[in-house]
């Protein structure tokens, strides 16, 4: 199952079948911010909101013309946070976005396309 929508749907179906206690434990794992994932690992991870303007934040680009060093540093920080978040999944990863996907997904999309051909 490589389709992110199928992975997300399967995960939601599993959560709906769980007991209330299991549901609370499972939901806690999926509601953490990216910066809180460091050092943790989960069976499945859904990283939602990986859209341009959110990852990286739109405000990062304001530094491109005035402070290139800061711009580069902020882009690196945002890319690193996304990397940490998506590498926490042991078995399944779904990356979701609305509108334009983050520029950081371009190399990933190419790699997935190459692997599936």
pLDDT in tens, 40-63: 788 888 888 888 988 888 888 888
Residue 82, class by beta-carbon neighbours within 10 Å (0-12 exposed, 13-18 middle, 19+ buried)?
buried
Hey, where are the domains in the chain?
4-12+36-116
Q: Provide the pLDDT confidence category of residue 110 given band limits of 50, 70 and 90.
A: confident
Domain range 4-12+36-116, CATH architecture: 2-Layer Sandwich (3.30)
Residue 46 and residue 41: Cα distance in Å, rounded? 12
Confidence band of 7 (pLDDT split at 50, 70, 90): low
pLDDT at 41: 81
Q: Please write the tens of the pLDDT for every residue from 17-36.
A: 665 555 455 545 445 566 66
């Amino acid at each position: 199952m490589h389709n992110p929508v199928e992975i997300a749907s399967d995960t939601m179906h599993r959560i709906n079948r769980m007991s209330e206690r299991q549901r609370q434990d499972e939901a806690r794992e999926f509601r953490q911010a990216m910066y809180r994932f460091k050092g943790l690992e989960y069976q499945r991870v859904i990283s939602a909101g990986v859209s341009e303007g959110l990852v990286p934040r739109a405000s990062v680009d304001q530094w491109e013309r005035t402070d290139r060093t800061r711009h580069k540093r902020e882009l690196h920080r945002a890319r690193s946070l996304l990397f940490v978040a998506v590498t926490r999944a042991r078995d399944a990863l779904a990356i979701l976005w609305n509108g334009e996907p983050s520029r950081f997904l371009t190399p990933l999309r190419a790699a997935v396309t190459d692997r599936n051909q």
